[in-house]
Structure 1
Amino acid sequence: MRVFNCDHCGHLVFFDSVQCLHCGSTLAFVPELLAMAALAPAPQDGPDLWRRMGERGSADYSGRLYRMCGNHTAYDACNFAVPANDFSPLCASCRQTRVLPDLSEPANLGRWKQIESAKRQLFYTLARLGLEPAPGRAGPVFEFLADWPGGPTILTGHHGGTITLNVAEADDGERAQRRVALGEPYRTLIGHLRHESGHFYWDQLVRDGHCLEAFRSLFGDERQDYASALSAHYGKGNDLGDWRQHHVSSYAASHPWEDWAETWAHYLHMVDLLETAASYQTSVTVPDPNAAQRYQVTDPFANPRPSFDDMVRQWVPLTLMLNSLNRSLGQNDAYPFALSSGAMGKLRFVHDLVQAPAG
């Protein structure tokens, strides 16, 4: 995720900012422009309308008028803008959420806000990759549900284009408990959403993209029984075999579908982190008494886009530095993975598949 600048005063702002702390301008993210915008009230054009401000406070008379997302107005839960002539009161991200938990429960309201924030981050990365919004193709639908006494357990997953997430995952304690119980080194809201979006885009890009045979030669045959494969995976306990030679995680070894989804999530991790580092013009020098190596991080969305090999050359030292910084603060590794050549080959497959429509 890149950082942004207020287009009124130029001060540094962030993807989730709602006000510039330097000039006080109201900020909103404009999805169709993939940019943060400083907005000025435009009551002369209609109630609750805003116009984008130009440099040094001059109005932008391009005709672009916006409303704030309905979830911002009602719940202070979104910072995306909606074009004034859009039919929906919700922004491009929020309208994908079709089912919500009971928001009269304060805990659920807080959980939902956190999940929507992670979903907007996913929306941004997919949009940068040219995958979201998808012209002529429906995007994923989201259902955020809570467990209730006597009801069925809500499982996080994907089915038929719908991504379901148990809102309990927004509770740090609950998520940590599940991470330990399942033996996972990494479990976050954005990680969940990236993984489940992988299942959605497997249908779009692999199944319907006429590259099933290439997928099967690398990931395996997805037609093997899914329920049995997962049952066998969880029945192994700590004896998961040498999965590191070919997979990005132990869960990826359970079934080809999960291998793809875990690899897809890792590719989104890579793209997002590289973009963030590049926006800060980061260079990393790996210490070596004989010949230190320096790497300048390149924006993965630069024109021309860097090759996959260039991205990996920058990714490895960047994650080493990131983990070292975390350890300096007494935190666990932010990226607790070491990717093998087998896993890298699968990441390259995802990269080539994603870059094809972009090209």
Structure 2
Amino acid sequence: MKSFQCRVCGGALFFENSVCVTCGSALGFSREEREIVPVDAVGRYVDAEGLIWHVCRNLNLSGCTWLARLEGGQCSSCDLTRVRPADSDLEGLANFVPAERAKRHLLVELDRLGLGGSLGGLAFDLLSSTLQPVVTGHVDGVITIDLAESDAAHREGLREQLAEPYRTLLGHFRHEIGHFFQWKLVTDGTTLERFRELFGDESEDYQDAIDRHYVEGAPADWATAHISTYATMHPFEDFAETWAHMMHIFDTVDTAIAYGLIEEHAFIGMRALVVDEWMPLSTALNVVNRSMGKDDLYPFTIPAPVLDKLEFTASLLPSR
């Protein structure tokens, strides 16, 4: 995430700010400019071309700070949400707010990676499991998120139950968007051939793979070729887990650059980024967390086969 400054007073801003805490100016996020901009008393912003933008109508519903093209309309992020909790579902609506915040973070990162124009066919069903079970997943362009994952206690309980080192709402979005891009970008030719070399035969029955994983668990040597135990379930899950970690790495490195922790330089490939930048940075951040008595920020190791997989996922991106 980049570093933002208020255009009115120069004060520091963060991605979700709707008001500058220094000068009190009302704010909105311009996706086109990738900047937080000041809005007037009725929530309008006039860009450099004279176009008028308006604060998203969902500001008070989901905390959305993005700008919409039409007055009383919703922004491009909210347009992607196909289903949300009913107005009467107060618990679901409370969990809807952090889910939409994570989705907006995801979209900004996809824009940064050059993928913002490749989202045709994508939709999100953000469903409350207050009344019925919800399964997080991706099918034919539709990403379903169980909003219970917004609740820290629920999420931590599942993390411990499943013996996972890491589980976050943003991580779910990054994993599921990995399924979406595998569905769109890994279809035939040399790309599919290389996918099979790295991840395995995707035609393996998915339900059989799930059943086997939850009965037998991951192979004893899983860490030699996979980023997580979940990645061992099926080639689709291996790809999605790898894609999520690619996004973890790019976003955290970009944030470290924005805040002066490491120097910015031309992108010279995923392998060099991981070895020369990410490994030293994540090690340092892990030690910082330990200094605060917290768990490691990045509790993973990257063996050589995973590095090859990360290179493959990065090769699917437009040029950085």
| TM-score in same-fold range (> 0.5) | yes
| Offset at residue 210 of structure 1 (A) | 6.0
Residue 309 of structure 1 deviates from its aligned partner by 3.3
What is the match of residue 202 of structure 1?
182
Q: CA deviation at 1:64?
A: 2.7
Is structure 2 residue 128 aligned with structure 1 residue 146?
A: yes
Q: Residue type of the partner of 1:64?
A: L
Aligned partner of residue 115 in structure 2, secondary structure: coil
Residue 20 (structure 1) aligns with: 20
Gaps of 5+ in 1: 42-47, 53-59, 284-295
Equivalent residue in structure 1 for 2:169, among 166, 178, 189: 189
Matching of residue 100 in structure 1 with residue 94 in structure 2: no
Residues 3/103 of structure 1: CA separation in 2 closer, same or farther (3 Å cut): farther
Residue in structure 2 matched with residue 280 of structure 1 by the alignment: 259
Residue 233 of structure 1, CA deviation: 1.2
Which SS does the other structure have where 2:73 is aligned? coil
Deviation at 1:139, TM superposition (A): 4.5
* Equivalences for residues 160-199 of structure 1 within 5 A: 160-199=140-179
**Structure with the greater relative contact order (CA < 8 A, sep ≥ 6): 1 or 2?**
2
The SS at the match of 1:117 is helix
Q: Does residue 1:233 correspond to 2:213, yes or no? A: yes
For residues 220 and 82 of structure 1, the distance between their equivalents in structure 2, rounded to whole angstroms, comes to 43
What SS does the aligned partner of 1:40 have? coil
2: CA distance, partners of 1:329 / 1:348: 33
Describe the superposition over 1:138-195 as per-residue Cα deviations: whole angstroms up to 9, x where unpaired.
142101112255x4x2111111110001111111111111111111111100000000
**Which residue number corresponds to residue 131 of structure 1?**
115
Q: Which stretch of structure 1 is more off in the superposition, 228-237 or 206-215?
A: 206-215
Q: CA deviation at 1:224?
A: 0.6
Aligned partners of 1:157 and 1:76: how far apart in 2?
Answer: 22
TM-score, length of structure 1 as denominator length: 0.84
What secondary structure is seen at the aligned counterpart in 2 of 1:36? strand
| 2:246 alignment partner in structure 1 | 267
1:83 to 55, 66, 69: 69
CA contact (8 A) 1:100 1:143 kept: yes
Instruction: Determine if contact 1:97/1:143 at 8 Å carries over to the other structure.
Output: yes
Is the 2:62–2:100 contact (alpha carbons within 8 Å) kept by the matching residues of 1?
no
4+ aligned runs moved over 4 Å, structure 1: none
Between the aligned partners of 1:167 and 1:14, the Cα distance in structure 2 is: 24
- Contact 1:111/1:168, CA 8 A, preserved across alignment: yes
1:49 and 1:65 in contact (8 A); partners too = no
Aligned counterpart in structure 2 of residue 309 of structure 1, from 254, 260, 271: 271
Residue 285 of structure 2 is matched in structure 1 by: 322
- 1:121-144 Cα distance to aligned partner (Å, 9 max, x none): 00000011111143xx61421011
For the 8 Å contact 2:62–2:96, the answer to whether it is kept is no
Q: Compute the RMSD of aligned alpha carbons.
A: 1.9
> Kindly tell me: are residues 147 and 61 of structure 1, through their superposed partners in 2, closer, same or farther at Cα, counting changes over 3 Å?
closer
2: distance between equivalents of 1:344 and 1:36?
Answer: 35
1:45 equivalent in structure 2: none
Question: 2:58 matched to which residue of 1?
Answer: 71
The structure number with the bigger radius of gyration is 1
* Partner residue, 1:44: none
Distance change (3 Å), C-alpha of 1:216 and 1:76: closer
Counterpart of 2:40 in 1: which secondary structure?
A: strand
TM-score by length of 2: 0.94
What SS does the aligned partner of 1:263 have?
Answer: helix
- In structure 2, give the amino acid aligned to 1:67: H
In the aligned structure 2, how far is the partner of 1:89 from the partner of 1:176? 36
Q: Distance in 2 between matches of 1:139 and 1:271?
A: 24
Letter in 1 for 2:44: W
